[in-house]
Amino acid sequence: MKRRWTRRRITEDLMKAWMLSSFVIVAGCLGLILWTVVSRGLPALTWEMVSQTPKGGFYMGKEGGVLNAIIGSLYLASGGTFLALLISLPIALYLKTYLGKSNWGHYVRLSLDVLWGIPSIVYGAFGFILMLALGLRASLLAGIVVLGLIELPIMVRAMDEVIRRMPADLEHAALALGSTRLEVALNVVSRQMLPGIITAVLLAFGRGIGDAASVLFTAGYTDRIPTSLMQPTASLPLAVFFQLSTPYPAVQQRGYASAVILTIIVLLISLGSRWISARLNKYTIK
């Protein structure tokens, strides 16, 4: 029963080595990115950075912070995610409940996959043209609409994958009690799949809050915190971009600090939604 170097064993060892090195590469990249951002940004991450809007000369190294971009990004991403959720949940439930494995379902999924792959700058350009056609200026509203469009395919496809894994037994149990298909979707499918739906929303939110290209044209940039949907707004990804492209090392450092803030926001929201979904998870059938 001695272990020998058979072909099967070599294959397994090779595959294992491949998987392990993939993991090391990914984990290493993530570690490096975090290290770069944190090590350069942390010295500039002061209370002033997160509690003040830019003062005169901020982009040349004078006083102020990026509160405008923090608030702007939260507005943009929450608005976009909410808008996308309003449209995505019915699409995902409709796909599951009424289209199923039909051809139509196939085409809808295909077009969503294509939409997912379109670069966000294209969405930005599209939003820009739409704005011009409607006679709007760069504004929080336009930014929210474009982010909503970007998040939509991600959210629907992520929800769809989760909802398709719904156990058929459960659906049948509800149908056997005389439920309509809609009642099954609303009372049983969405309840059972709630943790997965929250993950889908989170995924979309992450994409929304991190996107720079689409909001560049549509939401603009300003040093003030917007007080209405029609005003332009700053966002963290653009704050990072503008500060990193200045020639002043102090400002560049603030750019990294802004990136740290963005990362922390995403982290907090991930942890928060995980906590919520764990609590809502109580009744799901495993």
Partner 1 sequence: MEAHIQVRNLNAYYGKTQALKNINIEIPRRQITVIMGPSGCGKTTLLKTFNRFLELNDGASVTGEVLVDEQDIYAKDVDVTEVRKRVGLLAQRPAPLPMSIYENVAYGLHIHQMRKGKLEYKEAVKHYLEVAGLWDEVKKRLHEPATGLSIGQQQRLCLARGLAIEPEIILGDEPTSALDPISSQHIEKKLLELKSQYTTVVVTHTLRQAKRLADYAIFMYLGEVVEAGPAHAIFTNPQQERTRAYLEGLF
Ranges within 243-262 binding partner 1 (CB under 8 A) = none
Residues 190, 126: Cα–Cα separation, whole Å:
33
**Inter-residue contact 225 to 239 (CB < 8 Å):** no
Contact flag: residue 276 with partner 1 (CB under 8 A)? no
> Which phi and psi (to 5°) does residue 127 adopt?
-60, -40
Q: By CB under 8 A, how many residues form the interface with partner 1?
A: 23
Closest distance to partner 1 from the beta carbon of 77 (Å): 30
Ranges within 127-186 binding partner 1 (CB under 8 A) = 167, 169-170, 172-180, 183
Residues 109, 279: Cα–Cα separation, whole Å:
31
**Inter-residue contact 94 to 184 (CB < 8 Å):** no
CA dihedral sign of residues 257, 262, 268, 270: negative
By beta-carbon proximity to partner 1, the closer residue of 152 and 189 is 189
By beta-carbon proximity to partner 1, the closer residue of 192 and 252 is 192
Closest distance to partner 1 from the beta carbon of 205 (Å): 25
Closest distance to partner 1 from the beta carbon of 203 (Å): 22
Q: Which stretch binds partner 1 (CB under 8 A): 6-14, 187-195, 200-208, 247-255?
A: 187-195
DSSP 66: -
| Nearest of 199, 188, 180, 207 to residue 266 by alpha carbon | 207
Sketch the per residue contact string, 77 through 116, with partner 1: x for CB under 8 A, - otherwise. ------------------------x---------------
Residues 247, 212: Cα–Cα separation, whole Å:
21
By beta-carbon proximity to partner 1, the closer residue of 1 and 168 is 168
Helix (H) or strand (E) holding 152: helix 140-164
Residue numbers of the site for partner 1 (CB under 8 A)? 101, 167, 169-170, 172-180, 183, 187-188, 191-192, 282-286
